[in-house]
Amino acid sequence: MSTDDRIKNKGYPTFLTQKIDDYNDRIMTDGQGHHLMRGRAASKDDVHICSNDYLSLANHPQVIDEQISILNQQSEYMLMSAVFLDDQNPQILLENQFAEFFGSKDGILCQSGYAANVGLIQTVVENTNAPVFIDLYAHMSLWDGIKMADQTPIPFRHNDVEHLRQLIMRHGPGLVVVDSVYSTNGSVCPLRELVPMAHGMGCTLLVDESHSLGTHGPQGRGMVVEYGFEDMVMFRTASLAKAFAGRAGLILCPEGFADYFKCTSKPSIFSSTMLPYEVVGLQKTLELIKDADDRRAQLRQNTRFLQNHISDLGYSIDDSQAQIIALESGPEWDTIRLRDALESRGIFGSVFCAPATAKTRSLIRLSINSGLTEMQLHRVVRACREIVTELDVPNWKSTKRKARAQAAGVRKIA
């Protein structure tokens, strides 16, 4: 049955038929029924580097025990918005523990990192005339927060502190939005220069630490703490579905902000809050994260190993300065070939394409974790080596960009 017939048979209205047609043309057009985002199913012997469980804490027996115990104990619990949580609710107590550990005055737990970012930006700049500056590579949830606030973003070039400074000069101080580690390619925000500059010019800072909480800084307290910028960065957010291996989002904020947020942010008011077993799971994980220096050291070692070896093979991965490596094959269907070539060798990363990347810069993202064995690491490198010729890696646009940059002696961003 053709795509057209399939859609007609569903009885969609004309305006939706066109949209689904366009989607199918893009996602399933290699003519062989292959899906752009999903390849073959992985087996347990394969190397899984698609999950953001950086410290390999998902399924930790102590977390599971806590969760089972609360599920067995609690005969009933409330399904309701965070607006109604009282001060003694375990979720509020955990928010205080998070705030204290991360050196913040207040903390808010949300249903996801997406809900945290969208709700936060909405509550901070909605109905104001504050300009909102955002790094071009910032996570989609931050852009959507700006939309939700009905504001127009003022984007600055990725990691370009001077460009940001010029834009602040032109538009005046406002909200500056960045990620600490960028989720597409593992590049790291130059916080050391950016934060004092933007703060000094009167801006309010929001740093999304999804990919650095738990993995960076003393005991995993993140990059803002590592640089001692707690007082200059007013808002920190994070998805707790990365190193914290849970299903939640976190906002670290000034004292008193939490109540304002819970009663004015739309994702907080109009969507139910977390469940008790999720709260106890995160509480246990927080304890584990504090004591996870060995896992953090192993993560760094695994990251360095893969960065060095994959870079030596000629791939352009210079942007990767943390536990994310992007193999940027470019056009979407080249990325499918890359995915299939890796998967046939037992290596499972994630396809990143529009809207997560520009259409011509799609990639396979490898998310490194502390639990990878030496054998698995070598297997990844071997697979990357085997496909260099098969997939014509030297002729990828990203490879050529790297060669041009090296020839021009361009300095890497520290």
Ligand X SMILES: Cc1ncc(COP(=O)(O)O)c(C=O)c1O
In whole angstroms, how close is the CB of 141 to ligand X at the nearest point? 5
Q: Tell me the closest approach of the beta carbon of residue 25 to ligand X, in angstroms.
A: 26
Give 241 or 310: the residue with its C-beta nearer to ligand X: 241
Residues in the chain, overall count: 414
Taking CB under 6 A as the rule, does residue 239 contact ligand X? yes
Residue 349 found at the interface with ligand X (CB under 6 A): no
Shortest Å, Cβ 189 to ligand X: 11
Pairing of strands 324-330, 362-367: antiparallel
Residue nearest to ligand X (CB): 113
Q: Which is nearer to ligand X, 139 or 284 (CB)?
A: 139
Binding part of the chain for ligand X, among 108-116, 196-204, 315-323, 341-349 by CB under 6 A, reads 108-116
Q: Residue 249, interface with ligand X (CB under 6 A)?
A: yes
Is residue 275 within 8 Å of residue 77, measured between CB atoms? yes
Report the C-alpha gap between 27 and 359 in whole angstroms: 12
CB atoms within 10 A of CB 311: 15
Establish if 285 lies at the interface with ligand X (CB under 6 A): no
What separation in angstroms does the CA of 105 have from each of 31, 113, 240? 55, 19, 19
Strand 47-48 versus strand 347-348 pairing type = parallel
Closest C-alpha to 49, from 367, 373, 317: 367
For position 53 contacting ligand X by CB under 6 A, the verdict is no
- The count of chain residues that interact with ligand X, using the rule CB under 6 A, is 14
Residue nearer to ligand X on the CB measure, 141 or 370: 141
Each residue 113-152 as x (binds ligand X by CB under 6 A) or -, in order, gives xx--x---------------------x-x-----------
Interface pick for ligand X out of 134, 148, 189, 241 (rule CB under 6 A): 241
User: Could you tell me whether strands 132-135 and 106-110 are parallel, antiparallel, or unpaired per DSSP bridges?
Assistant: unpaired
The CA distance from 94 to 383, in Å, is 43
In terms of CB distance, is 52 or 376 closer to ligand X? Answer: 52
Which of 66, 95, 106, 179 is in the footprint of ligand X by CB under 6 A? 179
Smallest distance, ligand X to C-beta of residue 140, A: 8
Helix (H), strand (E) at residue 132: strand 132-135
Which candidate, 232, 137, 220, 231, places its Cα nearest to that of 194? Answer: 232
Q: How far is the CB of 112 from ligand X (least distance, A)?
A: 3
Tokens 């990639």 found at: 363
The residue (of 277 and 305) whose beta carbon lies closer to ligand X is: 277
Question: 112, 187, 321, 362: which one contacts ligand X (CB under 6 A)?
Answer: 112
Q: Which two tokens stand for residue 76?
A: 């009933």
Beta carbons of 284 and 63 less than 8 angstroms apart: yes
Binding part of the chain for ligand X, among 70-78, 204-212, 280-288, 313-321 by CB under 6 A, reads 204-212
To ligand X, the closest distance from the beta carbon of 309 in angstroms equals: 25
Closest to ligand X by CB, 303 vs 399, is 303
Contact indicator for 238, 207 with CB cutoff of 8 Å: no
Residue 297: alpha-carbon gap to chain centroid? 21
Q: Which of residues 117 and 123 has its CB atom nearest to ligand X in the complex? A: 117
Which segments within 173-298 are labelled E, that is strand? 175-179, 204-208, 235-239, 249-253
Least distance between ligand X and beta carbon 292 (Å): 20
- Beta carbons within 8 Å of 185's beta carbon, 6+ residues apart: 137, 319, 320, 324, 326, 328, 363, 365
- C-alpha span between 344 and 355 (Å, rounded): 26
Place of tokens 């109905």: 127
Stretch 299-338: interaction string toward ligand X, x if CB under 6 A: ----------------------------------------
- Residues lying near ligand X in the complex (CB under 6 A) are found at 112-114, 117, 139, 141, 179, 183, 208, 210-211, 239, 241, 249
